[in-house]
Structure formats: C-alpha cells, structure tokens
Structure 1
Amino acid sequence: MQSPSLLETLLSAGWLIVPIGIASVVMLLCVIERTVALRRRRVVPKRFIHCVLKQIEEGAVDRADALELCEENSSHIARVFEAGLRRWGRSAVEVEQAVLDEGERAAAELRRYLRVISGVGNICPLLGLLGTVWGMREAFDAIAGDAAMGKPELLAEGIGKALMSTAAGLGVAIPAMIAYLHLTGRVDTLVGQIDRHGQELVNLISAEAIEERGSSRPRKAKRAA
C-alpha cells in the first residue's frame, strides 16, 4: 500500500489546516520583507555617516550642504540627521529632541510587521490544538458508531489525523518565533546605532558645540605660532 504524500496527510488533518497554511505564507512574506528592509546599508550606511559627520567636524560643509547630502540619501539615519540639521545652531536640548523624535519614528518603521510574525507564532499552536480537539471528537464519534464497533484501528487513525493539526501549527509557530527573535535583535542593534550616531551629530551642531569649537581654534593657532 502506497503511503500518503505530505500534502495528503496535511489535508487529512481537517479544515483548520487552511488558516494555518495561510498564516505560514503571511509569515514567510513578512520575514522576507523585513530581512531585506533591515539590511545595515539601508538603515545606517557607514560610508554616508562617516562622510557627513567628518565633513561637519572639519567645517567642510555648512547647514545647507549637509541637508542636501541627507536628502540625497534614502536611509533611516539620513532622515534622523536631517531632523537634527534643521536645528543647526540651536541648543543641545532642542537638537537632541529633534533627533530623538525622528529616531522614534524610524524605530517604529523598522519594527513594522514584527507583530504579525509574533502573532503567527502565538496563534498557530492554538489553531493546531483546536484542530486536534475537533479531530479527536470526530474520531470518538466514529468509534462510537455501530459500524465501527470492534475496530480500534479506526480510532488510532482518527487520533493520528487529529494530532497532525497540532504538528502543523507547531511547524509554523517555531520558525515564526525564531525569525521574530532574530529580527527583533537586529532592530534593537540598528536603533542603538541610530541613537549613537544621532548623539554624535548633536555634539557637532548644537550651539554649545559650535561655541566650544570656536573658542578652541584661537588657542590652537596661538600654540602653532
């Protein structure tokens, strides 16, 4: 006797295998989208950050030039820098607040769809368990009928099909939770880098930083003389 294929086995688990299958497709699409979107060069490109901060520190660019550099870049850190640059010359508190506000918006965008992945990981085991309970009830109803009296193999077959629903739910939930933890860790790392580089910008363009650099240059020139 030919053993049933995996698809036939899954379909025999009952109608609840359909929402589990749909959830698995949604989870896979979200994971692929987030994996692409959370690449470091799309969020915090090192070359761009070094270019902007270095040129500001050396006085090679002014506010307008720095804003133009940020507008030409589509990364998240560019938007954070742009928000801070629009407060160029203001107090450190005001510049930092602008950076923090835009940083929070960037963090929220980076966390997009992560709740969907987490939801799939939490709901699929429950759907699988519901499918098992439903299948067990049908199996016991069948064995209780007159036609099934003295045929315990029918009960075993029914229980096996019912348990397949739980296995399918766990088979989707486990990869979903692994992906969620991985992507959450990546987002936390990227948000930390955005915060760190944003603070570096604050230390360069705030009124206090500009005043400090201006007062230190004459001393350096005097020493050189």
Structure 2
Amino acid sequence: MIAEQIASMGMMGWPLAVASCLSFALILERLITYATLPSLGRKGMHTLFDEVRGCASCRNTKDSVCKSLRTGKGIRQGIAVLLSHSSASKTMREEVAGLWLLKQKRTLHSWLKPLMLIGILAPMLGLLGTVMGLIDMFRNIAAVQGPVTPDILADGLWVAMFTTAFGLMVAIPSLAAAHGLGVWANHYMSRLEFAMNHANLLLEGLKMDEHGLADEAEGTACLKAVAA
C-alpha cells in the first residue's frame, strides 16, 4: 500500500521516499551518538581537574593518571593525550590538544552536512514532481474528448500538490535537526576546549578553580604524600 502511494506521486515519489529514509537514519544516528557522549558536568570536571592537579604536583603522569585515563572516552581521553606529553612545552601541548579537538569536531559534525543537503534538495524534488504532475494533468485534459469535469482536475492536482507537501515534510525535520544538532555539537566542543585549556594550565603548575580563580588549597593526595 505504501509502495502504491509513493508510485502515485510520479517519478519523484521514490527519490523523496529514499531521502526521507536517509534523513531519518542520519537523525537517529546523530541522536544516539550525542546521547552516549561522556558528560561534562561541573562535578565530573571538578573531579577530573583534581586528578590532573595532583598528577602535575607528583610529576608521575605516565604511571598514575594517564594509565587510568587512556581507557576513558571523551574528555578523559583528551586529558590523557595532554598528560602523555607533559614533558613537552606548553606551546607544544596546545598544538597536540588542537589536533585532538579538531578530530573530535569532525566526529561530532559528521553527517550534519548530508542531512542539511537533504533538507535543501527535498522541497526542490517536491516542486519538480508538482510541475511534472501538472504537465501530465494538462496532457490528460487535452486528450479528453468532451467537457472537462472537476474530477479530472481534482485528481491531477491532488497528486501534484501532495508531492510538494511530501518534500516539505522531509525538508523541515532535516533542516531543523541539522541546525539543532549543530548547536548541540558546538556547545559540547566549547566545553571540551575549556576543559583541555584548563588542564593544560594545571600541568604548568597553575592553581585555579573551575571559574579561573586562584586556588591556594593543596587538596590532592599526592601533594600530601610528597609533603610527608
């Protein structure tokens, strides 16, 4: 039955059906990907920064924090990359962090452009189907011997206009999802950049809290062990 309805829209019916399936699959894939991203909440970041601060104080990065962070995902993996280059200069670590962030950005923004392309092409395919439907309708009217009844016009117009409506029903969710998911990805990337920059400064021995204020507290277990 669905196949008959798609075929009734003419030659543009199947391209629109394929576009709608691709759009749904891409949106679902992006939603699952973003939903499984590690959380960047304040509590988790505070704990992570404490680990990095303690590691920087102990100068034992490869044996302590890095070992536990390498198996992590998201920001913990990025921090592990920084810690594995703790002996390098701050500028070199910034370059390494920049490459890692670029890789994360590509991952987060993948499939958003194809989704936007579907949103742009779908209404054009619908409009093309409408125009072709109107051409067929007038061809059928010309072939009618005798008066043209409203039934003939209504049937042709319904098929032609439904193609445009179908194209819009594919385009609107695709464009909305592409822009909405893009905003989501940009927000997550900004949090990643903040965390990586913060961790890089902590590796330099700078003591500060998550707001950037100077933190004079020595609240790490490793630092207490060294003092003892």
* TM-score between both structures, scaled by the size of structure 1: 0.81
Partner of 2:68: 69
8 Å Cα contact 1:143-1:151 kept in structure 2: no
Q: Could you tell me how far apart the structure 2 residues matched to 1:173 and 1:49 are?
A: 38
Aligned length in residues: 205
Partner of 1:35: 31
Deviation at 1:159, TM superposition (A): 1.6
Counterpart residue identity of residue 54, structure 1:
D
Q: Could you tell me how far apart the structure 2 residues matched to 1:8 and 1:132 are?
A: 18
8 Å Cα contact 1:79-1:102 kept in structure 2: no
Correspondences of 1:98-137 after superposition (within 5 Å):
98-137=96-135
Counterpart residue identity of residue 37, structure 2:
R
Counterpart residue identity of residue 85, structure 2:
R
Deviation at 1:149, TM superposition (A): 4.1
Counterpart residue identity of residue 148, structure 2:
G
* TM-score between both structures, scaled by the size of structure 2: 0.80
Q: Work out whether 1:21 is the aligned partner of 2:17.
A: yes
Q: Could you tell me how far apart the structure 2 residues matched to 1:200 and 1:150 are?
A: 75
Partner of 1:154: 152
Deviation at 1:10, TM superposition (A): 4.7
Q: Could you tell me how far apart the structure 2 residues matched to 1:125 and 1:177 are?
A: 11
Correspondences of 1:175-190 after superposition (within 5 Å):
175-190=173-188
Deviation at 1:45, TM superposition (A): 4.4
Q: Could you tell me how far apart the structure 2 residues matched to 1:43 and 1:116 are?
A: 25
Which deviates more, 186-195 or 22-31?
22-31
Deviation at 1:112, TM superposition (A): 1.2
Counterpart residue identity of residue 66, structure 2:
L
Deviation at 1:44, TM superposition (A): 4.2
8 Å Cα contact 1:56-1:204 kept in structure 2: yes
In terms of fraction of residues, the more helix-rich structure is 1
Q: Work out whether 1:51 is the aligned partner of 2:50.
A: no
Deviation at 1:76, TM superposition (A): 2.4
Over the matched positions of the two proteins, sequence identity in percent amounts to: 21
Equivalent of 2:202 in 201, 204, 219: 204
8 Å Cα contact 1:124-1:172 kept in structure 2: yes
* Structure 1 pair 140–84 and aligned structure 2 pair: CA distance change class (3 A): same
Partner of 1:168: 166
CA RMSD between the two structures: 2.5
Q: Could you tell me how far apart the structure 1 residues matched to 2:74 and 2:52 are?
A: 19
Q: Could you tell me how far apart the structure 2 residues matched to 1:155 and 1:56 are?
A: 73
Deviations 1:47-100 (A, max 9, x none): 654433212213468311222222121x22233222222220322211111111
8 Å Cα contact 1:52-1:66 kept in structure 2: no
